[in-house]
Every structure is written in C-alpha cells, then in structure tokens.
C-alpha cells in the first residue's frame, strides 16, 4: 500500500525484467528512500520479474509490490516484506530464514523446499489467489499457497490466512500457527513437532501420513480432520505381516495376502532385508525406519513419510516415491531404474532424485 499522501508518480515499475544484482541494489536504494520518506524515494513495483539466485539479505522491501516474480534459489535471510504485495510469486528453494512477511499479501505464493526457519508470517494473507493475464510460462495457478517440503522450524504464522495451503512433506517444528485459518489445508507426510495450533481452524485438513508429536491445540473436533492417529504395529505384528507378504509376493499372489501397511505408523521399525515388493505403502510413516537391503521393487510410496529413513542397498526398481517425504533419507547403493520384465521405473518428484 502507498504511504499517506503518495501518488502513482512515486512508483518505479518494471515488467518482465531479469534483474541483475547491481540493478537490484540500485532499485533497493530508491525504495529505501521511499520507505524512510526521504526525497526522491520511489516505491518498487515489479511484475513478472526474474530475481532467481539474487542476494537480498537484510534488504527491506516493506510496502513494495512484487507480483508474479521469481525468487527461486535467492538468499533472503532476514529480508523484510511487511505489508508487501507478493501475489503469485515463487520462492522455491530460497533461503528465507528469519525473514519478515507480517501483514503481507502472499496469496498463491509458492515456497516449495524453501528454508523458512524463524520466518514471521503474522497476519499474512496466504489464501489461494490468481493473477489475471499472467504469462502462460509463469507457472502461477489459482491454488492455495504452497510450502511443499519447506522447513518452517520456529516460523511464526499466527493468525495467518492459510486456507487450502499445501504443507505436504514440510517440517513444522515449534511452528506457531495459533489462530491461523487452516481450513482445507494439506499436511500429508509433514513432520509436526511442538507446533502451536491453539485456536487454529482445522476444518477439513488432511493429515494423511503426517507425524504429529508434542503439538498443542490438536484436541478439537476429530471430525474436522480427514485423518485420525495412525495404527501402530507391535514388532510381532509386523513380523507376521511381513512373513505373509513375502509368501504372497513369492507365490505371485496365489498364497497368503499382501501386507495391509497403507497408512500405518512404522516409524523407527527395523525392516532390514524385508521383502515388500509390490507393497502399498501410501501415506505410511517410515520416519527413521531401517529398510537397508530391503526389496521394495514396484512398491508404492505416494504420500509416505520417509524422513531420515535408511534404504542403503535396497532394491527400489520400479518403486514410486512421487509425493513422498524423503528429506534426509539415505539411498546409498540402492538399485534404481526399470524393473526387468515391466515398464515400471523408479520415480521421484521432479528435481528430488537422490544420489544412490
């Protein structure tokens, strides 16, 4: 928003520009003069501009307007965007630790795999939003804000509007979401520990495959969430289940039955050498599980949480890990690729293929 008594002539507007570090610095000086109400200051207005990989550390872009801009891989540590309009912008893989977005318009913004440690979003608007007449290649959609795979440790999002936001595979350790509007938000495969959710609106939230521990404010109406606490198997139950699944797999389905492990909590379990080929492990929690040397050929891990799991030497040919949380998982010496005799290939989310 404009300062009181300012006019459209106080703006510096740029559209479809690839900014250089030097150019950004010059624009920042003028914007700072505007923020500080100094002579010859100009409010920064960017539309569809490219700022990928630039260094914005500790810069103050409060009250700026940066619509549909690309900040991917940029360094924005301790940057300030209070009251800024950032509708439809992209911060994928950016470092936003300790940045300040209080009261900012962040509708439709993407923070996929961003570092948001200690970032402040108090009273920010993160609802779904669409930019009209946006270029087709800008990648902006009308969905809610996206935090897929983002690290939100210690972030403050109190009273933020996050309806339909996507927190799939995100880390929310000690995150403050008190009083936030999280209706229809997705937390599939997320790690939620010590989060503050007191007074948050959780109607129709999806927590499939999420691991939630020591969080406050989760005691509301259980019907308001689309998933309940996951089933936890004892060691003996798991051994029996694995034995039946191995007999089923080795008999090509003529004996026993496949393991009913979809959506089960197997975090920390010892699954070394297990035969889980063709297993349906969608939304299963496998946090810190040991799958070393396991046979996981053609297994389905959609939405599963494999954070810090060990898969050293496992056979994952033809397995599908799309949508799974594999943050910190160990895939050393795994067998990847096409499963012989089929057209199935090991699949991960784009740009997230681990190094075997």
Pair 61, 44: CB distance under 8 Å: yes
* pLDDT number for residue 258: 87
Please state, in angstroms and rounded to a whole number, the distance separating the CA atoms of residues 244 and 97: 47
Note the pTM of the prediction, 2 decimals.
Answer: 0.70
Question: What three-state secondary structure class fits 32?
Answer: helix
Token match 């010590």: residue?
Answer: 194
**268: its two tokens:** 């920390």
Q: What are the residue ranges spanned by the domains of the chain?
A: 45-130+140-229, 230-356
User: Where residue 97 falls among pLDDT bands split at 50, 70, 90?
Assistant: very high
User: Where residue 323 falls among pLDDT bands split at 50, 70, 90?
Assistant: confident
* pLDDT score of 133 more than 50: no
What's the angle, vertex CA 313, arms to CA 349 and CA 188, rounded to 5?
Answer: 35
**76: its two tokens:** 């924005």
* pLDDT number for residue 2: 35
User: Where residue 327 falls among pLDDT bands split at 50, 70, 90?
Assistant: confident
Q: Tell me phi and psi for residue 146, to 5 degrees.
A: -115, 125
* pLDDT score of 123 more than 80: yes
Mean pLDDT of 77-86: 96
- pLDDT tens sequence across 47-64: 999 999 999 999 999 999
* pLDDT number for residue 311: 96
**102: its two tokens:** 């209080």
* pLDDT number for residue 352: 61
The more confidently predicted of residues 66 and 255 is 66
Give the helix ranges, DSSP H, for 276-328.
none
Pair 80, 100: CB distance under 8 Å: yes
Q: How far is CA 323 from CA 150, 185, 241, 286, 297, in A?
A: 14, 16, 25, 14, 17
- pLDDT tens sequence across 189-231: 888 989 998 999 999 998 887 888 766 665 544 334 444 455 7
* pLDDT number for residue 29: 95
User: Where residue 182 falls among pLDDT bands split at 50, 70, 90?
Assistant: very high
* pLDDT number for residue 40: 87
**DSSP helix, strand, coil percent of the chain (3-state; round to 5):** 10, 20, 70
Q: What average pLDDT does the structure give for the chain? A: 85
* pLDDT number for residue 356: 56
Please state, in angstroms and rounded to a whole number, the distance separating the CA atoms of residues 253 and 240: 17
* pLDDT number for residue 135: 34
Q: Tell me phi and psi for residue 211, to 5 degrees.
A: -110, 115
230-356 has the same fold as 45-130+140-229: yes
* pLDDT number for residue 218: 59
CATH class in words for 230-356: mainly beta
Give the helix ranges, DSSP H, for the chain.
21-35, 235-250
* pLDDT score of 263 more than 90: no
Question: What three-state secondary structure class fits 331?
Answer: coil
Please state, in angstroms and rounded to a whole number, the distance separating the CA atoms of residues 321 and 338: 14
* pLDDT number for residue 225: 46
CATH code reported for the domain at 45-130+140-229: 2.160.20.80
Mean pLDDT of 267-287: 92
H helix or E strand, kind and range, residue 67? strand 65-67
Tell me which residue of 22, 102, 78, 10 sits closest to 54, measured CA to CA. 22
Token match 């799974």: residue?
Answer: 324
What is the DSSP code string of 288-313? T-B-TT-B-TT-B-TT-B-TT-B-TT
* pLDDT number for residue 4: 34
- pLDDT tens sequence across 9-58: 577 899 999 999 999 999 999 999 998 989 889 999 999 999 999 999 99
């Amino acid at each position: 928003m404009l300062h009181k008594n300012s006019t459209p002539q106080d703006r510096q507007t740029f559209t479809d520009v690839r900014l250089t570090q030097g150019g950004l610095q010059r624009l920042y000086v003028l914007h700072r003069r505007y923020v500080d109400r100094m002579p010859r200051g100009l409010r920064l207005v960017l539309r569809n501009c490219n700022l990928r990989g630039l260094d914005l550390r500790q810069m103050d872009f409060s009250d700026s307007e940066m619509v549909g801009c690309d900040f991917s891989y940029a360094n924005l540590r301790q940057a300030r965007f209070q009251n800024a309009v950032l509708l439809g912008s992209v911060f994928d893989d950016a470092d936003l630790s300790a940045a300040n977005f209080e009261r900012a318009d962040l509708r439709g913004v993407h923070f996929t795999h961003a570092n948001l440690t200690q970032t402040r979003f108090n009273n920010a608007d993160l609802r779904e939003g669409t930019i009209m007449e946006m270029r087709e290649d800008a990648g902006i959609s009308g969905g809610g804000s996206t935090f897929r795979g983002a690290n939100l440790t210690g972030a403050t999002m109190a009273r933020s509007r996050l309806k339909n936001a996507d927190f799939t595979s995100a880390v929310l350790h000690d995150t403050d979401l008190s009083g936030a509007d999280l209706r229809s938000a997705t937390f599939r495969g997320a790690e939620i520990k010590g989060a503050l959710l007191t007074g948050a609106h959780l109607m129709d939230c999806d927590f499939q495959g999420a691991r939630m521990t020591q969080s406050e404010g989760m005691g509301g109406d259980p019907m308001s969430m689309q998933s309940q606490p996951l089933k936890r198997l004892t060691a003996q139950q798991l051994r029996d289940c694995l034995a039946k699944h191995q007999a089923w797999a080795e008999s090509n389905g003529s004996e026993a039955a496949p393991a009913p492990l979809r959506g089960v909590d197997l975090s920390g379990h010892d699954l070394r050498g297990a035969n889980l080929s063709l297993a349906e492990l969608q939304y299963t929690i496998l946090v810190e599980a040991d799958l070393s040397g396991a046979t996981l050929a053609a297994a389905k891990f959609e939405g599963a949480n494999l954070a810090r799991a060990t898969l050293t030497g496992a056979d994952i040919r033809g397995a599908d890990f799309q949508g799974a949380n594999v943050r910190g998982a160990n895939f050393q010496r795994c067998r990847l690729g096409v499963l012989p005799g089929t057209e199935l290939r090991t699949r991960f989310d784009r740009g997230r293929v681990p190094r075997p």
